[in-house]
Structures are given as C-alpha cells and as structure tokens.
C-alpha cells in the first residue's frame, strides 16, 4: 500500500471520528433551537377545557375577543366533534356581544352551512339579522344595512316559522321597513320644498306601494293629494284623499287632505282605476269601493 493510500485512509477515519464527536452537540443545538423559539411542538388541548375557558371569559365579560378565540380553537383542534358544533355557535354569539359584527356574521354563516338541520341554525340566522339590525343608521344615511337586516330576518321567518326567534324577527322587520319608509318620506318632502312635484310623487308612491303597513303611509297619501293638486291632476288628488279617509278616517292627515280638496271646491272621490286604489286592493288593505 502506498503512502498516499495510507494518508487518504487516515483522513476518512479522522472525519468519521469528528462527525461522531459532533453528533451530540448538533442534537443539543437542535433542542436548544426548539427551546429558544425555533420549531415548537403544538400540543392539542381537550375540547371541554377550551370550551369552558371560553364560557368563563364570556360570562365574566373580561375579554370577549379572547373568549371567541378559545371557542374557535375548539373548532380548529377538534373539527368533527360535538364540541366543535357548540363552539361555532358560541363563537358567533361572542363576536356579536363584542360588537364584532363581520366576524359574527362569518361564524353564523359557517354554522348554517355546516349544520343546516341543527336546532341552532335558526339562531345563527337570527344573529346575522341582529348584526345588521344593530348597525341601522338614521334616515339621512345609507340604508344598506337596513335592507340586509330585513333580508336576514325574512329568512328566519320563512325557513324557521315555528322557532322562538320568528316573532322577534317579524317585529324587527317592521321596525326596519319603517326606517326605509321614513327615508322615502324625507326625500319626498325635500322635493316638495323645491316644488319638484313629480319627484315627490315618485317617493311617496314607494311608501304607498311598498310600505303600506308602516306609520308613514298616512302622511304619504296626504302629500300625494297635495302634489297632485299642485300639478292640476285633480282625479288622483281626490282618490288619494278618499283612500286615506277610508283606511284612516280618524287620522289628522285625512283632515288636512280633506281640507285641501275642499278648498278647490271638491270632495274626496275614488277612481277605482287609479294606481293608488289598485295598490291598496292588491295588498288587501281596502279602498272605498
């Protein structure tokens, strides 16, 4: 064997010895890396522990955001368990209580998607409506949330008519519809002040055709009487006053409408072919005929 072969063999042996000596050090460094913030093992926590922690924080009202996160953790760590189903609806509720409406809506929709046949599906849908309802603005502002609240509550009434939330959903729909009618009235009055009679009539027409069950329909009929008289469309003015008197005979708005047509030497008289009469007959509220 040559000197060169012996030298090469010696180098290989030395390298093997060095690697053997370094191995414990490298393992120790990997452990230290994990200890000092490197790769960390994630240990799964029991579902009931996570759920009860969220429940405690929710009931104590100490940190609703953290409470929701604990409920979310149940769903993440135990996605197919009964605890996950319960935690998902609690996530939606907790976010609602915290005023985090978008997060609550997202969780509620996910619950309905995953558990459509659950008894709590009605509540999840009710929560969606409540999130929008709580954000309804005054009539001078955009009413997008009002319309979304009506749509969500309508789903409760339509899909879950026998649920405990259906009655409240109907009441809130009435409140939201009243808000939409109030906005139309506000815009209609704005046009009236500027003597834009056609623009005003279009707004009051919306109230009469879409929001007849709201408290604003009486005034809308009076304003229609006034606007039509201003345009010289006497027949529609008389019809508006007559329908107002028939449906709301004790209304102060009817007294004003009656006085308006009387000043022109006229009396309230319904034209059965008028859109006003047809609107009331279509919804079964009644007209003078």
Q: Are 230 and 269 in contact (CB under 8 A)?
A: no
Domain residue limits at 144? 47-178
Q: Is 266 exposed, middle or buried (0-12, 13-18, 19+ CB in 10 A)?
A: middle
In the chain, % of residues over pLDDT 70: 83
* Dist CA 114 CA 108 (whole Å): 10
* Dist CA 185 CA 189 (whole Å): 6
Q: Is residue 81 part of a domain?
A: yes
Residue 282 pLDDT: 72
pLDDT in tens, 27-57: 344 443 444 444 444 458 888 899 999 999 9
Which one, of 91, 165, 105, lies nearest residue 134 by Cα? 105
Other beta carbons within 10 angstroms of residue 242's beta carbon come to: 27
Q: Is residue 23 part of a domain?
A: no
165 lies in the same domain as 204? no
Q: Which of 178, 205, 236 is the last residue of a domain?
A: 178
Which one, of 244, 261, 251, lies nearest residue 207 by Cα? 244
* Rg of the chain on CA atoms, in Å: 35
Q: Which residues contact 81 (CB under 8 A, 6 or more apart)?
A: 47, 74
Q: Is residue 4 part of a domain?
A: no
> Looking at residue 121, which CATH number applies to its domain?
1.25.40.10
263 lies in the same domain as 171? no
Q: Are 214 and 177 in contact (CB under 8 A)?
A: yes
pLDDT in tens, 186-237: 999 999 999 999 999 999 999 999 999 999 999 999 999 999 999 999 999 9
165 lies in the same domain as 209? no
Q: Which residues contact 266 (CB under 8 A, 6 or more apart)?
A: 234, 237, 238
Q: Is residue 272 part of a domain?
A: yes
What global pTM score does this model have?
A: 0.80
The mean pLDDT of 1-30, rounded to a whole number, is: 41
* Window from 20-34, 154-168, 216-230, 244-258 with minimum mean pLDDT: 20-34
Q: Is the pLDDT of residue 9 over 70?
A: no
Q: Which residues contact 201 (CB under 8 A, 6 or more apart)?
A: 224, 227, 228, 231
Q: Is residue 12 part of a domain?
A: no
Residue 254 pLDDT: 97
Q: Is 175 exposed, middle or buried (0-12, 13-18, 19+ CB in 10 A)?
A: middle
């Amino acid at each position: 064997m040559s000197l060169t072969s012996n030298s090469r063999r010696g180098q290989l042996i030395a390298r093997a010895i060095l690697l053997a000596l370094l191995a414990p050090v490298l393992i120790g460094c990997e452990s230290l890396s994990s200890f000092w913030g490197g790769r960390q093992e994630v240990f799964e926590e029991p579902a009931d522990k996570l759920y009860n922690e969220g429940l405690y924080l929710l009931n104590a009202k100490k940190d609703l955001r953290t409470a929701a996160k604990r409920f979310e953790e149940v769903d993440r760590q135990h996605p197919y368990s009964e605890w996950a189903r319960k935690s998902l609806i609690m996530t939606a509720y907790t976010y609602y209580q915290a005023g985090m409406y978008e997060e609550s809506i997202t969780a509620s929709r996910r619950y309905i998607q995953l558990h459509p046949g659950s008894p709590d599906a009605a509540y999840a849908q009710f929560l969606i409506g409540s999130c929008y309802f709580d954000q309804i603005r005054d009539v001078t502002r955009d009413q997008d949330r009002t319309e979304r609240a009506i749509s969500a509550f309508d789903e409760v009434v339509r899909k879950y008519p026998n649920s405990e939330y259906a009655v409240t959903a109907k009441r809130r729909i009435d409140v939201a519809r009243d808000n939409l009618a109030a906005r139309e009235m506000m815009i209609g009055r704005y046009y009236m002040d500027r003597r834009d009679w056609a623009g005003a009539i279009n707004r009051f027409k919306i109230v009469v055709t879409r929001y007849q069950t709201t408290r604003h329909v009486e005034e809308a009929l009076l304003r229609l009487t006034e606007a039509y008289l201003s345009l010289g469309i006497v027949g529609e003015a008389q019809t508006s006053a007559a329908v107002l008197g028939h449906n709301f005979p004790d209304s102060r708005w009817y007294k004003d409408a009656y006085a308006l047509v009387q000043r022109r030497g006229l009396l309230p008289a319904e034209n059965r072919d008028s859109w006003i009469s047809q609107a009331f007959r279509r919804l079964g509220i009644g007209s003078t005929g």
